[in-house]
Amino acid sequence: MESSKMNSGRLGNLLGDKWTRWMKQAVERTLPVSLCLG
C-alpha cells in the first residue's frame, strides 16, 4: 500500500514539473508577442 502511494506521489510530482515547465515556456513565448502587439 505504501509503495503505491509513493509511486503515485512521484508520478504527480513528475507531471507537475512538466506542467510547470510547459507553462513557463508558454508564458515566455506569448509574453513578447503580447508586448509587441500592445
Each residue's pLDDT expressed in tens, for the chain with a length of 38 residues: 567 777 778 888 998 999 999 999 999 998 888 778 76
Q: Residue holding cell 513578447?
A: 32
Global pTM reads 0.52
The gap from C-alpha 37 to its chain's centroid, in whole angstroms, comes to: 26
